[in-house]
Amino acid sequence: MTMGFGWILEWVFGWIYSSLLAGVLVIGSPYWLVRMATSGRYRAGLWGRLGFVPRELVQWRKTVGRVVWVHAVSVGEVLVAARLIEEFRRVRPELRFAVSTTTKTGQELAKTRLGLGSAFGCGVFYLPLDFGFAVRRYLRVLRPEMLVLMESELWPNLLAECGRVGVPVAVANARVSDRSFPRYMRLRRLWRPLMERVAVFLAQSEETAERLGAIGAPRVRVSGNVKYDAKVGGESQVAGLIREQAAGRAIVVAGSTVEGKTVYEEDVVMKAMWGERGVWEQIPEVLLVLAPRHPQRFGYAYSLGLEFGVVSATEMLEGKRATGTARQTVVLDTIGDLAAVYGVADVAFVGGSLVRKGGHNPLEAARFGVPVVMGPSYENFREIVERMRAADGIRIVEDQDELAKALGELLTDRVAAKALGERGQRVFEEQQGATERTVTALVELLPGGAR
């Protein structure tokens, strides 16, 4: 009786979900059509999203043998997926990988780092919309031996269709943030059937594992956070150009800045640099690298530096340089270079934290021994930040004035800055090894299991 009721509940949920998804697409189509016509957004990969498998992906599949499908939403997940795929290829070199993304920036990075022109030779495509017919077309072409979802991407029809054809699904580097956990708990009766379709959740931490169990995940293992292991391939060309532009001067990198409801984080950073008692009042020759999280903010960030000297990374690649030596800003408007650019910083501010966005990963900078400053909103990486705070390996600031003060102190007291960076770096080093544990668990799901 319980199984029968569960099946009925799942069927009803699936029908309602698909109907709502179709309704949203129909009702929202005028808006999306306008955005596609005026800004180009949503246009990329449109036919592929609707279930028309790209011809190049079909051709790629004909040339390879055993395939694992990896889904990575955007840039951060693509970087982690690259590390996983590298380890997978080491232990199971016969496997090939098809990589899907959701965002345009993620797609561009995946094609550059993992696509056919790279050493990985992966098939790269946009994840289809979560309709059964669209998902089935990709499954028929790819015939994957496993689907690996990065972090927390659970799509009902994708899971259902994989279950129908016997493709095991794993969630790697799984996490449940402070913000999303209450929502999951309120809807756990609806989530439970979906989570039962997942062969294993490989959690970043014990806390995440406990949360997944509370929501209804029946099979959870703690493998650690793969982001601790994510490699930065040698220094990027952009990072080298920024070091050249600095010419020995100190570099402040403000990474992954975002827009809040009432304030832009780029504004906060710039005012901390040039405002009263700002960094440039004390040390005018400091070079600021401003790296907005989203491409649509590149132009705005550039405009903030026009009063002084400003140049974008794209312009630097074309040979342009900022003039003068004081109050210079470089806008990082390329994709996938931020991790390497952190490596040339003297101090790093990690964004999404001075507005209520939950913050970004401070280990991307701490791995290089760079002293890290963050705002008070770090819910998305709370466990990491708390580890760093316990080790006195990070500075937390509340507002623009405190940010200016922290940056100024770390730039003038290089001994204290070096010690802070080293303590943060030790936190990073203590957590490594998650990639190998994750891949070991995933290999067990493949036909034939581990060798």
Q: Please list the active-site residues.
A: 77
The count of other CB atoms within 10 Å of the CB of residue 110 is 29
Six token digits for residue 74: 């955007």
In the DSSP assignment, the letter for residue 264 is B
Under 8 Å between Cβ of 265 and 257: yes
CA distance 217 to 201: 8
Six token digits for residue 233: 């391939």
First to last CA, the chain: 40
The set of residues, in sequence order, having a beta carbon less than 8 Å from that of 349 and lying 6+ positions away, is 252, 253, 254, 255, 269, 372, 373, 374, 403, 407
CA distance 72 to 78: 5
| Amino acid letter, residue 1 | M
CA distance 374 to 360: 9
Nearest CA to 205 out of 434, 15, 25 is that of 434
Which letter, b or e, does each residue of 249-268 get, where b requires 16 or more Cβ atoms within 10 Å of its Cβ? Answer: ebbbbbbbbbbeeeebbbbb
What size, in residues, is the chain? 451
Under 8 Å between Cβ of 308 and 329: yes
Six token digits for residue 190: 């609806």
CA 215 to chain centre: 24
- For residue 272, CA distances in Å to 277, 288, 351, 353 come to 8, 11, 14, 15
Nearest CA to 305 out of 277, 270, 341 is that of 270
Q: What does the radius of gyration of the chain's CA atoms come to, in whole angstroms?
A: 23
Strand order through the sheet with 347-350: 309-312, 328-331, 287-292, 251-257, 347-350, 372-374, 395-396
The set of residues, in sequence order, having a beta carbon less than 8 Å from that of 27 and lying 6+ positions away, is none
Under 8 Å between Cβ of 450 and 440: yes
